[in-house]
């Protein structure tokens, strides 16, 4: 049951959901696919009778769901964050199709929790929420009608994850794991960004009065490269020396 175990490391994060029914339908979709960890970021109405009704039997997931105030709190302990989007935006982080995204997510789940982040029904995810993602997934729809129902996209993605998990069971141990140097968590990455911003300000590369897009571009660069915890420590060591000027 290698794959089933790995599915338990996956977290569905629903950001700012408006309709409680969608939360229930998402829980139902998750439970059928063996994904159980649900985190709600500032839902408009929850708990709610519509959520329970549409969960139809997945109310154990709703009862266990964590409610948090913002996306960083939902993904702080995650080693990889996959954002979902109906639209391709110009962004410097890779956009993957569901099967490839699922494979990567399961691979990362060997090291710790992996989040799949879903946006608001009307407006999706904000730009700063997108900045927390290591990669994006887009369900390939027809180009002129690209927006799926929120719970529908949770179903497609958790199905893709289950298929990838079942394939991993058939081929156990294909991906070697390096337990000694796990990927950095999002909280460790946030520590690096704060430190980097400070050091760049000290050496006057970053002008706090006119920061332009420097921090965002650096963030995308590091998110894309998937740093390990020890690489983050190494970079922060360099930053300490940079700040000292020797």
Interface residue with ligand SAH among 66, 92, 128, 141 (CB under 6 A) is: 141
Smaller CB separation from ligand SAH, 146 or 242: 146
133-141, 163-171, 174-182, 188-196 -> range binding ligand SAH (CB under 6 A): 133-141
Beta bridge partners of 96: 137
If the CB atoms of residues 153 and 186 are measured against ligand SAH, the closer one turns out to be 153
Of 58-66, 84-92, 102-110, 166-174, the segment contacting ligand SAH by CB under 6 A is 84-92
User: Using the rule CB under 6 A, which residue among 130, 139, 189, 239 binds ligand SAH?
Assistant: 139
DSSP at 8: T
H helix runs in the chain, sequence order:
2-7, 20-33, 49-55, 59-64, 71-75, 98-108, 127-130, 150-170, 186-202, 214-225, 229-244
> Is 147 an interacting residue with respect to ligand SAH (CB under 6 A)?
yes
Q: Is 18 in the site for ligand SAH (CB under 6 A)?
A: no
Taking the complex as a whole, the smallest distance from the CB of residue 149 to ligand SAH amounts, in Å, to: 7
Q: Could you give the 3-state DSSP secondary structure of residue 201?
A: helix
CB of 156 to ligand SAH, least distance (A): 7
Alpha-carbon distance values, 169 to 105, 206, 232 (Å):
15, 48, 32
Kindly tell me which residue out of 32, 42, 73, 86 binds ligand SAH, with binding defined by CB under 6 A.
86
Per-residue buried b or exposed e for 167-200, using 16+ beta carbons within 10 Å of the residue's own CB: ebeeeeeeeeeeeeebbbbbebbbebbebbbebb
What is the largest distance, in Å, between two alpha-carbon atoms of the chain? 63
Stretch that binds ligand SAH, among 63-71, 82-90, 163-171, 203-211 (CB under 6 A): 82-90
Distance between CA atoms of residues 220 and 125, nearest Å: 16
> Which residues here bind ligand SAH, judged by CB under 6 A?
84-87, 118-119, 121, 123-125, 137-139, 141, 146-148, 150, 153
């Amino acid at each position: 049951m290698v794959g089933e175990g790995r599915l338990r490391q996956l977290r569905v994060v629903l950001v700012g959901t408006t309709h409680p029914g969608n939360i229930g339908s998402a829980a139902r979709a998750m439970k059928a696919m063996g994904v159980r960890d649900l985190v709600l970021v500032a839902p408009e109405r929850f708990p709610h009778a519509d959520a329970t009704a549409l969960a139809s039997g997945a109310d154990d997931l709703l009862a266990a769901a964590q409610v948090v105030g913002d996306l960083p709190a939902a993904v702080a302990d995650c080693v990889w964050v996959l954002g979902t989007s109906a639209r391709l935006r110009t962004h410097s982080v890779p956009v993957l199709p569901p099967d490839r995204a699922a494979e990567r997510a399961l691979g990362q789940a060997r090291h710790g929790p992996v989040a799949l982040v879903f946006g608001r029904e009307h407006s999706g995810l904000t730009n700063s929420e997108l900045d927390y993602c290591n990669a994006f997934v887009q369900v390939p729809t027809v180009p002129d009608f690209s927006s799926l129902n929120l719970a529908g996209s949770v179903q497609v993605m958790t199905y893709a994850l289950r298929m990838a998990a079942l394939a991993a069971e058939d081929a156990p141990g294909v991906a070697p794991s390096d337990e000694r140097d796990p990927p950095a968590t999002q909280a460790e990455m946030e520590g690096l960004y704060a430190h980097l911003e400070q050091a760049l300000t000290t050496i006057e590369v970053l002008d706090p009065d006119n920061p332009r897009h420097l921090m965002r571009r650096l963030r995308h660069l590091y998110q894309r490269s998937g740093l390990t915890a020890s690489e983050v420590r190494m970079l922060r060591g360099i930053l300490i020396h940079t700040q000292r000027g020797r």
